[in-house]
Amino acid sequence: MSVIYQKVALIGLGLIAGSMAHAMRRDGLAGEIVGTARSAETRAVARDIGLCDRVVDSASEAVEGADLVVLAVPVGAMGRVAGEIAPHLAPGATVTDVGSVKKDVVDQVGHHLPEGVHFIPGHPLAGTEHSGPRSGFAELFENRYTLLTPVEGSDPEAVARLRALWEGMGANVEEMDAEHHDLVLAVTSHTPHLIAYTMVGVADHLRRVTESEVIKYSAAGFRDFTRIAASDPTMWRDVFLTNKEAVLDILGRFTEELFVLQRAIRMGDGDALHDYFTRTRAIRRGIIEAGQDTDAPDFGRVKPRKGGDAG
C-alpha cells in the first residue's frame, strides 16, 4: 500500500497508538512515525522495542511538521494535550483522536486548534484489557469498525484521507454525529463495562463464596466479566466522567429490565424468562453473522491474541 501521511505524530504510546504504529508500518502507510508519551519510562520502552521511527520527549516536538497528529491519551487528558500542541501544528495538518467518548473530546479539543488545521475525531471499536507500549499489535483493527465523527465544516478531502488510513489498517469506517456515537457506545461498551465492574465487585464482597471458589469455578460466566473488569482504570474513569448522560440513561433502562427479570424469577414465570433469553440469543447470532465475534467454543480462547472490546 502507498504512503497516506508523510509524518504521523502519535501522542500517547499505549495499546491503541502502539497498534496503529505496528499496522501503519506493516502496510507502509506513513512516511515517518514519531511518538511521544508522558512518562520517561514509556518513552524508554517505546525506544527499546522500536515502536516508532523516532520517540521524542515532548508532544510539541512530536507534532512539528506532522501532517497527521493522533491524540491517544485518556479522554480526560485530551484538552490539555491539545492546548500544548496547538501552537506547534503545521498548517493543513489533520488532528484526530482515538478517545472512547466523542462529544466531550470535541468540546475539549476543538477550541484549541488554529484555523487551517483539520479536526476529525475518531474512535476505533477495538481493544483488549491490556495497556501500555508493549500491548499493541498490528491486527487489532482488522475487521473492526472505526467511527469518525467529523465536526461541522470538516474538509471532505481530509476526512477521506483519514478514512483511507483506517481502511489501510484493516478497519471498516463509518461516520456519525458525536452525540449519537456516545449513546451507541453507552449501550455497546460503556454500560456493559460498568456491569462487569459491578459483578466482579459483588463477588469480591460476597463472603459466602470463598475467593478460591470464585477463581476455580470462574468459567461459568464470571471469567468473562473479570477480563473486562481488568481494563485500564484511568481510561474507564474518564469514560464514565465524560459520557455521563448517555451512560446514566442506559443504566436506568438496564435497572428496569433487571427488575423485570427479578420479578419473573420471584413469580416462577418460566415463559417470560424463556422468551427474554430467546430474544437475547438472536442478538448474539446477529453479532456473529456480522463477523464481529467468533462462534468458536469458549469464545475461541485457544488463540493467543484476540482483539475484543471497544472502549
**Cβ of residue 236: shortest distance to ligand NAP, in angstroms?**
8
DSSP state of 190: I
* Beta bridge partner(s), residue 30: 5
| Cβ neighbours for 240, distance < 8 A, ≥ 6 positions apart | 190, 194, 247
Q: Which residues pair with 168 in a beta bridge?
A: none
Q: How far is the CB of 219 from ligand NAP (least distance, A)?
A: 23
Instruction: Using the minimum distance from each CB to ligand NAP, give the nearer residue, 127 or 168.
Output: 127
Contacts (Cβ under 8 Å, ≥6 apart) of 147: 102, 122, 123, 125, 173, 174, 175, 176, 181
Under DSSP, the state recorded for 176 is -
Residue for cell digits 456491569?
A: 195
Question: Measured from the CB of residue 161, what is the shortest distance to ligand NAP in angstroms?
Answer: 21
Q: Smallest distance from the beta carbon of 210 to ligand NAP, in angstroms?
A: 31
The residue among 3 and 179 lying less far from ligand NAP, judged by its C-beta, is: 179
Residue with Cβ nearer ligand NAP (163 or 181): 181
**The three three-digit cell numbers of residue 23, written as one number:** 499496522
Chain positions contacting ligand NAP, by CB under 6 A: 12-17, 37-39, 42, 72-75, 77, 81, 98-100, 123-124, 127, 131-132, 135, 232, 234-235, 309-311
Nearer to ligand NAP, 15 or 29 (CB): 15
Give 182 or 232: the residue with its C-beta nearer to ligand NAP.
232
Q: How far is CA 95 from CA 1, 12, 169, 311, in A?
A: 22, 14, 18, 20
- Cα(140)–Cα(143) distance, integer angstroms: 9
For the CB of residue 76, give the shortest distance to ligand NAP in the complex, in Å: 7
